[in-house]
């Protein structure tokens, strides 16, 4: 087995966390093709993405407590097996309804990667270093979603949309092999408590009553919902409205992900010197700048791909700064139920994103307007949540401030 703190172990955990963005980003260029293949409308195709997030969110509520009881590794292995089997089954889907149902099962399996990957980082590196490691892991795993739409576009053109899900199945196979051979159990000794409904309710109530946990979670959820607004609407805007090809969409998406990578690199370098909260404040301002700029250009009817890609790059820099810090801040006070805390955060995050995705699809009129307004609103709500977090942090006990939670902009 590999040492949990080794570079190889960190890379494997990053690859498992990347299952989420891979499963959403890789098939985005195939949305117009799916409409034609299944004779479906935009809402039906977008539903395959929203139902994935719903399954992703709900499953995390199960995986977190299960991993706190039985350990991270066996629960993660079971999720990966379900992910790869459902990915293979999707290849044989004959209707958009079947595709949506199988995407639900794919999400239930795939959600084990991100929720337990975050918990494993907290197990291995503790509260102080987990924010820095999550930032660097986010940087590394951003390579996958940056390349995913490009690869997905070419796979769709060359082999059809089914090849995307065969690739995801193969990714799951590799994940199972690496996890089984290289990663030891990371859950702390003495954390395997018996699962009961009363204990789960008690744990979730404890989290909801924790003021800084609430605002860290909402900051993370709002900024991610803005990203998901782009995921839900960008392929229709760039491919259908602006007339670019599927493989070109992937290149534009890679530019957007580059903004995310820049944000995570900045966060990884600065978090120790300026603290989590101050960094989140700067990230929130960056996200607001990008979202409001895109909305203003859409309202002014500036219909050019740069009016979408450049503001979204700026917004994604904010996402890259805010998300790793908010996740680390939310998990820091709960070492003995990091799985549950990570799961509940993920549930709220994905639920917000699913609702926003449905709304973007419902109000989509062919133009970038509904997508841009949604991104701007999520950026503003991220900033509001940060301001409330700063106020809540000042009232917390010293034990909750050990990673710099009292620092503000």
> Smallest Cα–Cα separation from 320: which of 217, 231, 220?
220
How high is the pLDDT of residue 136?
Answer: 62
- Which pLDDT score is estimated for 300? 93
Q: Are the C-beta atoms of 99 and 48 separated by less than 8 Å?
A: yes
Residue 23 has what pLDDT?
85
Spatial neighbors of 154 by CB under 8 A, at least 6 apart, are 247, 250
pLDDT recorded at residue 187: 62
Q: Which domains does the chain have, with CATH numbers?
A: 7-401 (1.20.1250.20)
Whole-number Cα distances in Å, 151 to 147, 175, 276, 397: 6, 19, 35, 48
pLDDT of residue 130: 60
What single-letter DSSP state applies at residue 18?
T
List the structure tokens of 226: 């803005």
CB atoms within 10 A of CB 407: 17
Q: What CA–CA distance (Å, rounded) separates 330 from 207?
A: 9
- Residue whose tokens read 């900033």: 383
| Helical (H) or strand (E) element with 80 | helix 72-90
What are 106's two structure tokens?
């794919």
**Cβ(313)–Cβ(166) below 8 Å:** no
Classify the C-alpha dihedral 123-127-130-131 as positive or negative.
positive
Stated pTM of the model: 0.71
For position 312, what pLDDT does the model report?
Answer: 95
Which pLDDT value is given to residue 338? Answer: 67
H or E stretch at 222: helix 211-235
- Going by C-alpha positions, the residue among 25, 46, 1 that lies closest to residue 232 is 46
Structure confidence at residue 344 (pLDDT): 85
DSSP string over 30-58: GHHHHHHHTT--HHHHHHHHHHHHHHHHH
Helices marked H in 275-400: 276-299, 306-331, 338-363, 369-393
Coil, strand, or helix at residue 302? coil
3-state secondary structure 149-181: HHHHHHHHHHHCCHHHHHHHHHHHHHHHHHHHH
Instruction: Provide block-wise average pLDDT over 10 residues at a time, the chain (409 residues).
Output: 66 78 83 87 81 84 76 84 93 91 92 78 64 62 70 88 92 84 64 62 84 90 90 83 82 86 84 83 95 95 92 94 86 73 82 80 79 94 91 58 39
Q: Which of 403, 119, 387, 137 is nearest to 276 (CA)?
A: 403
The predicted structure's pLDDT at residue 131: 61
């Amino acid at each position: 087995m590999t040492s949990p703190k080794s570079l190889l172990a960190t890379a494997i955990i990053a690859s498992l966390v990347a299952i989420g963005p891979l499963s959403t980003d890789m098939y985005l260029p195939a949305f117009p093709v799916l409409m034609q293949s299944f004779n479906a409308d935009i809402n039906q195709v977008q539903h395959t993405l929203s139902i994935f997030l719903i399954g992703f969110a709900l499953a995390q509520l199960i995986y977190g407590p299960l991993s706190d009881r039985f350990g991270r590794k066996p629960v993660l292995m079971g999720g990966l097996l379900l992910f790869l089997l459902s990915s293979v089954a999707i290849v044989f889907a004959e209707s958009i309804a079947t595709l949506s149902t199988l995407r639900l099962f794919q999400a239930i399996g795939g959600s084990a990667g991100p929720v337990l990957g975050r918990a494993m980082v907290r197990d291995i590196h503790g509260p102080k270093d987990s924010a820095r490691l999550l930032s660097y892991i986010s940087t590394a795993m951003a390579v996958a979603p940056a390349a995913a739409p490009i690869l997905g576009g070419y796979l769709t053109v060359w082999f059809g949309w089914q090849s995307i899900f065969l690739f995801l199945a193969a990714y799951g196979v590799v994940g199972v092999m690496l996890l089984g051979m290289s990663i030891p159990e990371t859950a702390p000794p003495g954390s395997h408590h018996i699962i009961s409904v009363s204990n789960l309710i008690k744990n979730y109530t404890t989290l909801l009553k924790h003021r800084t946990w609430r605002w860290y979670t909402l900051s993370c959820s709002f900024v991610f919902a803005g990203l998901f607004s782009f995921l839900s609407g960008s392929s229709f805007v760039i491919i259908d409205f602006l007339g670019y090809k599927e493989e070109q969409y992937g290149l534009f998406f890679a530019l957007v992900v580059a903004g995310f990578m820049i944000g995570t690199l900045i966060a990884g370098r600065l978090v120790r010197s300026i603290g989590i909260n101050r960094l989140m404040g700067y990230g929130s301002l960056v996200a607001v700048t990008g979202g409001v700029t895109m909305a203003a250009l859409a309202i002014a009817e500036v219909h050019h791909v740069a009016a979408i890609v450049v503001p979204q790059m700026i917004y994604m820099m904010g996402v890259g700064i805010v998300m790793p810090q908010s996740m680390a801040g939310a998990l820091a006070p709960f070492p003995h139920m990091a799985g549950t805390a990570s799961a509940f955060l993920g549930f709220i995050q994905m639920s917000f994103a699913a609702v926003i995705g449905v709304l973007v699809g419902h109000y989509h009129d062919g133009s970038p307007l509904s997508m841009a307004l949604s991104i701007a609103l999520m950026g503003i709500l991220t900033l509001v949540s940060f301001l409330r977090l700063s106020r809540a942090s000042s009232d917390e006990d010293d034990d909750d401030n050990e990673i710099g939670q009292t620092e503000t902009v």
